[in-house]
A and B are shown apart, each in its own frame.
Chain A
Amino acid sequence: MNPEEIGIVGRRLQKLSARFLIVGGAAVARAVDSETEDVDLMLAVSDYGRVVRGFAGDPSVQIEAHGPIAGGFLLAGGRRVEFDLLDPSAFSGERSGNEFFDYVLRYRSRPGSEGRYATPPVVWYMRLTVPDWLSYVQKILRDLRAGAPWRWMEVVRHIARRFGTEGKMVSRIENAKEAARMARLLPPDSEDVG
């Protein structure tokens, strides 16, 4: 985890009066010893487009948006800090992106010195809800190996129910569970959640 780099990007966002939550591996790493260098921040919907445009006009920032993810790097004090900005609409299912952002902010995040961190099950939910979710199962395996409990999936299902994504989430959790079993991160024929 790299709180210093998160802080650098976070301060730039604060200058633009943007609301953000720290997600991704850094959020998971607050609970388990998961190595990550990622700086991933989810913005309020109303701030996402504005920040991307603001960063695009900043000579110290390189940014490229691909739909709900805008990735790039900024230069600060001779350092190159890579980051990804996420639009919550990509994860909000039948509800609005603002509702997802507010829900995580209010119920599923914890304060940290760099900003509020989403709880790890939110990160798992985000990984499993996107169209190329299969690509992220390996990251969940990495977290499990670092000691993350499978019961976080209970929260993932709860979030999915709330946002109307449970239909697709059940089979995705099942797939992740099968991968975890193959990797001996869950016992065979586990009756655990999911």
Chain B
Amino acid sequence: MHEAVYLVHDTGNRRVPPGILISERRANHRPKELHRLRLAATEDVEKARRIHQPVSLLTWEKVTALGYPMRFPPNLIVAKTLLRAVDTGFRTIPFVDEEAARNPEIEDVIVAMLHVDTLAARALALRNRGLVDPVRLMQRVVREQEERRATLVRLQDVAPTIPSIGPALPRAQLERHDRRNPSPGRLP
């Protein structure tokens, strides 16, 4: 026996974009067809978001726009409830919070970045202090059980109520990194 997760197409909803729902099989004695979600390209993720699936892409463009210039391949943020029904070549970042997976806010981006580059996550938090809600950041870290990674890069500097779990990198090392990789723009 194994656990399997499928999507069931609501027959009342005919506005499903083509190409992302892969028909799996009809369940025994059930009128509804079972599907998996195939997300092979950026456009597929956008299509899935349009039908309110809890997925989104974390891209280097978004992180750079928030003040930390860097490059990395796109990562798929996906709700844990959906994860096993998704076929994708993207690296996945599972989120407990479905709304945060579909419409990530700045704190969600920081939490997701803890999976990609912990030092970048810290830099994002520091460079957006005025925009980050420290309470929501704490709540999101706790909900996704990322206290250990958050503590490693001392996200408590931005959200002091994040529970400290595990070791933290030396403050001097972090501060050296904080000064690196500034936004290169010289325009006003």
Contacts and interface: CB of A to CB of B under 8 A. Distances in A.
Interface of A: 23-27, 36, 38, 40, 66, 69, 71, 84, 86, 123, 126-127, 130, 132, 134-139, 141-142, 145, 175-176, 178-179, 181-185, 188-189
B96 to A, nearest CB: 19
Interface in B94-113: 103-106, 108-109
Given A138-B66, A184-B105, A84 B188 contact: yes
Given A145-B131, A182-B106, A175 B186 contact: no
Interface string B82-125: 00000000000000000000011110110000000000000000
Nearest to B133: A184
Interface residues of B, number: 23
Contact of A182 (B104, B183, B187): B104
B69 A135 contact: yes
Interface of B: 61-62, 64-67, 69, 103-106, 108-109, 127-128, 130-131, 183-188
Contacts of B105: 181-184
B67 A138 contact: yes
B129 to A, nearest CB: 11
Contacts of A141: 66, 131
Nearest to A123: B188
A136 B130 contact: no
Residue of B65, B103, B109, B183 with most partner-chain A CB within 10 A: B65
Given A134-B65, A175-B61, A176-B65, A183 B188 contact: no
A138 B65 contact: yes
Contact of A38 (B69, B184, B188): B188
